[in-house]
Amino acid sequence: MTKQLLGKEVSASIRAELKTEIDTFTGRKPGLAVILVGENPASKVYVGMKKKTCADLGIESFEHILSQDATEDELVALLNGLNADDAVDGILLQLPLPSHMDEDKMLNTISPEKDVDGFHPQNVGKLLQGQRTFKSCTPYGVMEILKFYDIDPAGKHVVILGRSNIVGKPLAAMMVQKESGANATVTICHSRTQNLESITKQADILVAAIGIPEYVTASMVKEGAVVVDVGINRVDAPETEKGSKLVGDVAYDEVSSVASAITPVPGGVGPMTIAMLMKNTVTAFKEHQAPLDSI
């Protein structure tokens, strides 16, 4: 019987722990600034979900909306103001930005101490070097799902499909560390990989993060492997009322028959991203408070 790895439950457990902790904070509450530039409908939905989760947990959220034609200078000025604002522990710049903006440059403007998304190069570098830092939320969520279900990657072969800066690369960086909950042998595959199936078939833990609907089929998966599906793709589904549905990067039904455990889509990795963002915000809050407490 294939086990479902329910990020929905894992994230609920993390949010509950955070709420309990936040309730003990006297005085100011953790603060998260959320910046939306432009009119991307999906971005609006994500920002709304983040604000709602903040409200549920007792994190103060500060929303900043810039128009589609805002300049880089305007955004930099806003970010610098938030960097200096003591009520703001974490800054989230919702991606993608309008095409006239340099995303790397804008992300690099966020103070590494407030970079709760874990995208600033300094934090990514610390992550790879094994130093303490904010971990990118989605791959951090993958690590937490495995931990929750007592799946220890140590010594195992973890094959990651996809080399994006927000999932594949930071996940590889986390998995390879010499520390508890990691210690995996890590392979990163991508569009240029030769003999892909022969490599994915070796995975004890296979992580799909390539953004291609139902790309991973049963023949690519070893019997008994753990399969983590990071993909969230909307595809046509004329049979449904909406006319579309969400699927992952894994062909769930057929891969379920081979895998020992698998994350569904939706309800798998998806809900983890916001939970880890909240966790990073609380961590940032505690670090910002510490120097004050010690006065």
Residue ranges binding its own copies (CB under 8 A): 104, 120-131, 133, 154-157, 163, 165, 169-170, 172-173, 176-178, 183-190, 192-195, 199
Looking at 8, 50, 126, 135, which residue is catalytic? Answer: 50
By beta-carbon proximity to its own copies, the closer residue of 53 and 123 is 123
Annotation says 94 is catalytic: yes
By beta-carbon proximity to its own copies, the closer residue of 127 and 247 is 127
- Interatomic CA distance for residues 216 and 197, integer angstroms: 9
- Interatomic CA distance for residues 159 and 268, integer angstroms: 18
Closest CB 199 distance from its own copies, rounded Å:
7
Annotation says 117 is catalytic: yes
Annotation says 147 is catalytic: no
Looking at 8, 94, 156, 249, which residue is catalytic? Answer: 94
- Interatomic CA distance for residues 3 and 148, integer angstroms: 13
By beta-carbon proximity to its own copies, the closer residue of 4 and 177 is 177
Closest CB 22 distance from its own copies, rounded Å:
29
At residue 67, the 3 state secondary structure works out as: coil
DSSP collapsed to 3 states, 219-277: HHCCCCCEEEECCCEEEECCCCCCCEEEECCECHHHHHCCCCEECCCCCCCHHHHHHHH
Task: Spell out the residues 6+ positions from residue 291 whose beta carbon is closer than 8 angstroms to its own.
Answer: none
Closest CB 90 distance from its own copies, rounded Å:
18
Closest CB 189 distance from its own copies, rounded Å:
5
The neighbouring-strand residues paired with 161 are 189, 208
By beta-carbon proximity to its own copies, the closer residue of 127 and 269 is 127
- Interatomic CA distance for residues 92 and 177, integer angstroms: 26
Looking at 89, 115, 117, 249, which residue is catalytic? Answer: 117
Active site positions, annotated: 50, 94, 117
